[in-house]
Amino acid sequence: MHNYIAPLKDMRFAMQELAELKDICEIASFEAIDIETVDAVLEEGAKFASEILSPLNVIGDREGTKMDADGAVEAAGYKEAYTKYIEGGWSTLPCDEQFGGMGMPHVVSSAVSEMWAASNLSFSIGPMLSIGAISALQKHASDELKERYLDAMVSGRWTGTMNLTEPQAGSDLAAVRTKAVPNGDHYLITGTKIYISWGDHRMTDNIIHLVLARTPDAPKGVKGISMFIVPKFLIDADGNCGEQNDVVCSSVEHKLGIHASPTCVMNYGEKGGAVGYLVGEENQGLKYMFTMMNAARLHVGIEGVAMCEGAYQHALNYAKDRVQGAPLGQVEAKTIIHHGDIRRMLMHMKAMTEAARAVNYNAASSLDRGEKGDEAAHKRLEFLTPIAKAWATEVAQEVTGLGVQIHGGMGFVEETGAAQFVRDARIITIYEGTTGIQGLDLIGRKILRDGGAQLMSVMAEVEATVKQLQTKSNSLPQLTAELTTALDQWQKASLDITGRVMDDVDLVGACSVNYLMLCGTVLGGWLMAKSALVAMEKTSKDPDFYGAKIITAEFYAAHILPRAGAYATAAKADSQLTMGLKEEQF
């Protein structure tokens, strides 16, 4: 079974050359952080991922989460791993120094998060949710609540969750029924939430649930949702955990993958009402939750990158070891990496992994700038978020599937470990809003709302790279031609859709996923082109590494960028082709 090894050279390249890490470190509040400090963090993170988390991945998959009379029980070794995670200070990495955090840039914490997820996705989900909960409380909670909860959450002593989904309300938060009744200085919460990741476990002293609920006089729909802190254990005046709150995990879900991540059904108020504390103002809960949701979407995009990298490493290791058949024109059997079709699949996995990483690290760079007051970067981040999340997670489905294919029949056998990447990755296109929801968000909120201004701004960045390529067309002919064509297809499809969408109510739903995939494919090609241009200037310093960057970018141009034309054609198709059948015709 292959043990995950963090691809540090690739990560550093993406951070420094494509996400402008040096410029991020020069922002005033990051001035104490330099490239050497970041390298040290990455080195230690790589050790933790390969030595602690990776060996637990298969154990957690096979053992899973169990239940006893007191609730969820995590898989063997996970509590000890989490204790080491706290002792290493990893929970503090991206958090505000005011509350005990390290204050590292998000582009750095994204790279570390990739390591956690690639080595053990089930484990990584808990810390990811805690970071999102911390972000929401920092921005929206009262000073009193921050003082009571944030230090313990930032330190990792307490974990955080987000409680949105209910049995009758999947992605439709307007249908949320959980109630919150005022009771002195707190509220009493009653209701049931489902699919709550890390909703219950015994790895920490407390679990802080952020719960969406309705107060008695709340307006109907999403305008009537409020957010509440509901701790598993009540906190006394000294900040210590006391008796258990009226909240229980009634069951854990039996899932296709991420077996070691405790996904819980949470019941609030079976004995009269769980004590909850209002975050911010009543009826503003959806706004507050989106702070957590958007942070989580970026993390899930990183999970897509991680699943690609993990599956690629696993397949590459197998291809270098498995002897079967003689390559065409030869007599002796060799390892399968010598076969052309295996090489095609490995190159496909490698190219798409690097492109997905580049898109997500680039988005993290915009987050760093946006949080420090750069309004243009904030708008850019809003545009990139649905693409980074959805495109990378869709890519992960393809890449993990190729990993199984490279293993052949052995890939379909659980003992080889290839299938786990497919099973684990399947949830990430659904997490934090499905690909369809991300597509609707991209067109409806991120493009139409500002008249396409941000879209055109990002297109201008791509166009600048195309012009740079055209000055070197003899060196990168395939990349130059394909990116030029793909950009033109993206521009024309964007004009076509935005020109028709106001007159066709069904168009956005019919075209949004193909349009989002078009955006991701072109942006991936753009960043692969930028990587090739950088590599051309540095090839002499490390011919193997930078030479591989150029070849991989050219492979992306030849094998993946042509998809832009198909996505553009599909996105422009008449919505009646999607909506034309009557229900009974299906």
- Residues classed as catalytic: 432
Q: Look at residues 223, 212, 197 and name the one whose alpha carbon lies nearest to residue 424.
A: 197
Phi-psi region of 373 (alpha: psi -120 to 50; beta: other; left: phi over 0): left
8 Å CB contact between 424 and 313? no
**Interior/surface letters 97-118, b for 16+ CB within 10 angstroms, e for the rest:** eebbbbbbbbbbbbbbbbbbbb
Neighbours of 371 (CB within 10 A): 16
Task: Supply 45's token pair.
Answer: 């993170």
Sequence-distant (≥ 6) Cβ neighbours of residue 64 within 8 angstroms: 75, 259, 260
Task: Supply 226's token pair.
Answer: 């409020």
Sequence-distant (≥ 6) Cβ neighbours of residue 199 within 8 angstroms: 72, 161, 163, 193, 207, 209, 249, 262, 263, 264, 265, 266
CA–CA separation, 261 and 422 (whole Å): 16
Q: Look at residues 142, 140, 144 and name the one whose alpha carbon lies nearest to residue 288.
A: 140
Task: Supply 375's token pair.
Answer: 């309004």
Q: Look at residues 575, 390, 568 and name the one whose alpha carbon lies nearest to residue 501.
A: 575
Q: Give the bridge partners for 247, in sequence order.
A: 268
Strands (E), 47-91: 66-68, 71-73
CA atoms within 13 A on the CB side of 173: 23
8 Å CB contact between 564 and 515? no
CA–CA separation, 345 and 186 (whole Å): 57
